[in-house]
Amino acid sequence: MRVGVSIGDSIAAMHGVMGALMALHQRNTGDGKGQVVDVALYESVFNLMESLLPEYDMFGFTRNRSGASLPGITPSNTYPCRDKKYVVIGANADSIFKRMMLAIGRNDLANDPELAHNDGRVKRTWELDEVITAWTMQHDLDEILTILDKAEVPAGKIYDIADIVNDPHYQAREMIRQFQLSDGRPLKLPGIVPKLSRTPGEIRWVGPQLGAHTAEILSSLGYDEVAQAALKAQEVI
């Protein structure tokens, strides 16, 4: 059995708790004043995306999603668009499903009595997903959203990392931070979550260079000659 989980809510709650604990600690060890703990759902999830942002910024690599269906509720899935974007569509209510089928020119499915209710649609999930995919692949994302909005079908754009980097809300919330590596190259990194009003936190160090501690570790293990070679190699690099 597969069940859906509101993971964004859970992750945001955990960040909220962490922020509250930090705020309490600061109050108890500081001047006794409290502060606001600011947590957003999308920022909490973004905080767990590991190297998603640096990969995009340094190498232009955009990770893609591997699936987002909602088993037992049909149709509700993420579909590819002609312009290589993705759209999430939730047309699982009976009246919404019919409106969507009419909007994409599938009157036969809109008026099929077997598909009038969710239990019938679930039995034909693969068929309906193939039909919707065939339609979305013929249109760009913006066109799809316009058509579905006119038909009053819930749908939304799925952000990739390029959308996130260029989103004004992420930027205004300082979730896209610009830093500089030791060689002068710029690097974007995610901002800090949660945000505290009086002690918001700061990224003070982006980490060591690759191999920066190799010689130190080798020397501590007794491999002094290898450590010296590693130091010379690092100087050459």
* Residues belonging to the active site: 9
Cis peptide before 208 (omega within 30 of 0): no
Q: How far is CA 230 from CA 113, 223, 237, in A?
A: 73, 10, 11
Q: Which of 58, 43, 7 is nearest to 190 (CA)?
A: 43
Q: How far is CA 27 from CA 15, 32, 116, in A?
A: 18, 4, 58
Residue 187 corresponds to which amino acid? L
* Cβ pair 53, 160 in contact under 8 A: no
- The whole-angstrom separation of Cα 60 and Cα 165 is 12
- The whole-angstrom separation of Cα 93 and Cα 86 is 21
Query: How buried is residue 209: exposed, middle or buried, by Cβ count under 10 Å (0-12/13-18/19+)?
Result: exposed
Residue 22 corresponds to which amino acid? M
